[in-house]
Amino acid sequence: MTGPSSSDPLVVFTPSGKRGRVPAGTPVLTAARRLGVDLDSVCGGRGICSKCQITPSFGHFPKHGVTVDEGALSAWNAVEARYDEKRGLNPGRRLGCQAQILSDVVIDVPPESQVHKQVVRKAAAVRAITMDPATRLHYVEVQEPDMHEPSGDLERLKAALADQWGIDTAGLEAGLPVLARLQPALRKGNWAVTVVLHTPREGGPSRLLDVRPGLHDGGILGLAIDLGSTTIAAHLCDLRSGEVVASAGVMNPQIRFGEDLMSRVSYAMMHPGGSAEMTDAVRQAIDTLITEIAAEAGATGDEIVEAVFVCNPVMHHLLLGIDPVELGQAPFALATSDALSLGAAELGLGAMNASARVHILPCIAGHVGADAAAVALSEEPYLSDDLVLIVDVGTNAEILLGNRERVLACSSPTGPAFEGAQISAGQRAAPGAIERVRIDPATKEPRFQVIGCDLWSDEDGFAAATAASGITGICGSGIIEAVAEMRAAGLLDASGLIGSAEQTGTARCLPQGRTHAYLIHDASADGGPVISVTQGDIRAIQLAKSALYAGARLLMDEMGVDEVDRVVLAGAFGAHISPLHAMILGMIPDCPLDKVTSAGNAAGTGARIALCNRTARQEIERRVGAITKVETAVEPRFQEHFVAANALPHATAPFARLRARVTLPDVGFNTAGGDDGGRRRRRARSA
C-alpha cells in the first residue's frame, strides 16, 4: 500500500477539523477511519445501518483552504436511494459508506453519527457525558462451516470480527450462555449476525456478550444503579445514545435487618448466616427492580447487557457476598477497594442478559465508598479552581472537599433522619408526604405542600387535589424545612427546645410528656394522621445535622481552612432539600447562598458516566488513589465538632449575613438551661 499523493483529493472533516488526502474513489467512511474521525457504523459499511450519515458542504471554505464543487462526492447511488425510500434520509445527508470522495471536500459529521457523541443530562444539566461505551454492536458476515476445513462457529465468527472490524480477537472470551446461542443465531441470520461486544479498555481484550441474527441496531441497554442503604435507584440507559429510557427505585429490603449501616454490620456479627441473608435480600430486590425497569421501558431483560453499581462500602460488601464485619471495627479494612468487573451471573442477577457484565466503582476507604467515588466522578472536585465542598446526603453522608491541588473525603453517619426515618410522622418521599413547610413568623401558622400536588395547603383546591393521596406524613425535606422554619418563627430556641403555647403564643405548640410538639396538620377528624414535629424529631435532626456538619468541618480542618468557596449539594439534598433551610439549620458550613448549587443525584450521575464512558472508569480509579481519606469514626475532633454543632444555628460571620436575611429571632425556652430537652433537668432534680 502506497501513501496518499499530493494530487489525491483533500478531505476535511468537521467539527473535528481532521484532514488528509485519500485516493479518489475512497468511501467517506473509509476516509474517516483512516484519518481517525469519529464516524459511527454498525453494519461495517454495507449501507444497511445508516449510522454513518454525513453532510457534505459545497463552496469555498477559506478556513480550511478548500473549494468544494458539486461533484466532490460520487452521485447518489442505489443503496442510498433504497435506504431513503425505506427509512428516509434527511435532505443533504449521504451514507458515508456509499458516497465516494472524488475531489476536495468538506464533510460534516452530525452529532448523531458520532460514536463519542455527547449526552446532555436532563434533570440537572451541569455537564454533558461523552459517549464511549464499553459495549457496542458489530454486524458481521461469517463464513459457513466446511466439513473439510473443520473449525467451530465461534472461531469463524472471531475470524470475521478480526477481518471485517479489525478487532483483536486473540483474547476474545465467550461465556457459556452466548455459546449456547451462537449456532441458532448464525443459522437464523443466514450467517450474518450482530454481536454485542464488551471491550472495557480500548484496544484491550473483548468479551462476546450476545449474538443476534441479522442486522440488529439497538437493544443494548445498561443500568446505572445507586445502591443506597435505604433506597435502590436505577436508570436504564440506551448504550448507543446514552439516553435514559427508564428510571425506577425500590426500598432496600435490608432495612428489616437494621436501618443504618452499623446496625446491619451488627446483624451480620450477631446472626450466623446473617450476612448471606442480607446479600440474598438485596440481590433479589435488585433483580426485581431490573425486571420492573425493563418492563417500564418496554424492553426485555435480555437487552440489558451492562450495569454499573455505586454504593457505600457496607452495601458493596453485602452485594458481593462478603461479610461486612471488618467494616464495623477499626481499622475498617475493606476486603477489596479496587474497581471490580464481573459477570451479573456471579452476583446471581438473573433478570439481565445471562452474559451481562457488572462494573463496580472503586471504594475510597472503609467508610468512603464507591458512591463517593461516583460523586467525585460527577462533580470533579479535582478539576475545580476554587475550593469546593460537595455533600451527598443519604443514610450516610459522603463529603468531599478540594480543588485541583488536593481532594479530601470522608463519610459521616447521619442516620436516616434526613430521609424521614426515625421521625414521629416521618415517611419516605412518596405522594401524600409533606415536602415543603413555611411558618408565618407573625401568626406561627404553617402552610405546606405535599408530594404529587403543586398547590400550597392554604390555596384553593388543595383539599380536592390531595384527596386521592391524603396527607400521610412528612418526608426528609419536609422535616428539615419544618425544623428550620420553626427556628425562624421563634418556635425553637438555639438549643433546639420547642416552646410551650404560652412561650410561643400559638396553640399549635402542644404539651407532649415533659416537652412540646408543634402541630402541622391534624386530619384525625377524617380518620387521617396527626402530623406534628416532636421534641424527639428535633433531636434526631440535630444529631443528623451535627454529624453532617462535623464531617465537613473535619475536612476543612484537615485542609487548614475556615471557609469554602462554594458548596455543591447532592443526593436527597440537591433533589429535594432547600439549601436555604439546610443553611438555617447549620447542616452545612456557611457560604454565600449564591455559591451553593445543587447537583441532583450526583452518585447516580457518576454511575451513568461510568456506564456510558469506559475511559471515565479508568479516570476515577486513578483519581480515587489520589484522594486523601479522613476517618471520622476515630478522629477526636469529629466528636468535638459534633457536640459544638448541636445548636441551631451556630453563628459564624458568613452565616450572620444569611441570618440577617432570614431573621432568626433570639428566643430561649429552656428555663432550666441545657439543650437536651429536659433530660438534664431531670438528672439535676434527682441529683
Cα atoms found within 13 Å of the Cα of residue 24, Cβ hemisphere only: 10
Rounded to a whole number of angstroms, the minimum distance from the CB of residue 142 to a copy of itself is 11
Q: Of 145 and 253, which CB lies nearer to a copy of itself in the complex structure? A: 145
**Which of 39, 34, 38 minimizes the C-alpha distance to 52?**
39
Q: Of 365 and 479, which CB lies nearer to a copy of itself in the complex structure? A: 365
* H runs (alpha helix) in 104-256: 153-165, 176-188
If one asks whether residue 513 binds a copy of itself (CB under 8 A), the answer comes out as no
Q: Which amino acid does the sequence have at 27?
A: P
Among 322, 501, 530, 580, binds a copy of itself (CB under 8 A): 322
DSSP state for residue 45 in the 8-state scheme: S
If one asks whether residue 234 binds a copy of itself (CB under 8 A), the answer comes out as no
Q: Of 432 and 551, which CB lies nearer to a copy of itself in the complex structure? A: 551
Cα 313 to chain centroid distance, Å, stands at 16
Region of 129-137, 321-329, 603-611, 667-675 interacting with a copy of itself (CB under 8 A):
321-329
Q: Nearest 5 degrees, angle CA 536-CA 540-CA 546?
A: 140
If one asks whether residue 364 binds a copy of itself (CB under 8 A), the answer comes out as yes
If one asks whether residue 634 binds a copy of itself (CB under 8 A), the answer comes out as yes
Region of 49-57, 325-333, 483-491, 594-602 interacting with a copy of itself (CB under 8 A):
325-333
If one asks whether residue 323 binds a copy of itself (CB under 8 A), the answer comes out as yes
Number of residues that bind a copy of itself (CB under 8 A): 46
Among 11, 246, 363, 377, binds a copy of itself (CB under 8 A): 363
If one asks whether residue 182 binds a copy of itself (CB under 8 A), the answer comes out as yes
Report the distance separating Cα 532 and Cα 506, nearest Å.
Answer: 14
**Which of 307, 312, 318 minimizes the C-alpha distance to 284?**
318
- Residues in a beta bridge with 655: none
Cα 619 to chain centroid distance, Å, stands at 16
Rounded to a whole number of angstroms, the minimum distance from the CB of residue 337 to a copy of itself is 4
Q: Taking CB under 8 A as the criterion, which residues in 366-385 touch a copy of itself?
A: 366, 368
**Which of 234, 382, 246 minimizes the C-alpha distance to 309?**
234
**Which of 467, 479, 481, 474 minimizes the C-alpha distance to 430?**
474
Q: Give the H or E element holding residue 12.
A: strand 10-14
Report the distance separating Cα 606 and Cα 610, nearest Å.
Answer: 6
Q: How far apart are the first and last CA of the chain?
A: 98
Rounded to a whole number of angstroms, the minimum distance from the CB of residue 325 to a copy of itself is 8
Task: Look up residue 378 and give its three cell numbers.
Answer: 460527577
Among 365, 437, 484, 544, binds a copy of itself (CB under 8 A): 365
Binding string, 96-135, against a copy of itself, x = CB under 8 A? ----------------------------------------
Report the distance separating Cα 107 and Cα 207, nearest Å.
Answer: 34
If one asks whether residue 330 binds a copy of itself (CB under 8 A), the answer comes out as yes
* 260 close to 229: Cβ distance less than 8 angstroms: yes
Rounded to a whole number of angstroms, the minimum distance from the CB of residue 605 to a copy of itself is 25
Q: Of 204 and 431, which CB lies nearer to a copy of itself in the complex structure? A: 204
Binding string, 269-308, against a copy of itself, x = CB under 8 A? ----------------------------------------
If one asks whether residue 326 binds a copy of itself (CB under 8 A), the answer comes out as yes
Binding string, 130-169, against a copy of itself, x = CB under 8 A? --------------xxxxx-xxxxxx--------------
Binding string, 331-360, against a copy of itself, x = CB under 8 A? xxxxxxxx---x--xxx-------------
Among 15, 17, 59, 184, binds a copy of itself (CB under 8 A): 184
Q: Which amino acid does the sequence have at 411?
A: S
If one asks whether residue 209 binds a copy of itself (CB under 8 A), the answer comes out as no
* 186 close to 157: Cβ distance less than 8 angstroms: yes
Cα atoms found within 13 Å of the Cα of residue 84, Cβ hemisphere only: 15
**Which of 374, 365, 479 minimizes the C-alpha distance to 412?**
365
Question: Would you mind telling me the total number of residues written for the chain in this entry?
Answer: 687
Q: Of 411 and 515, which CB lies nearer to a copy of itself in the complex structure? A: 411
Report the distance separating Cα 1 and Cα 26, nearest Å.
Answer: 14
Chain residues in the site for a copy of itself (CB under 8 A): 144-148, 150-155, 174-176, 179-180, 182-184, 320-323, 325-326, 330-338, 342, 345-347, 363-366, 368, 629, 631, 634
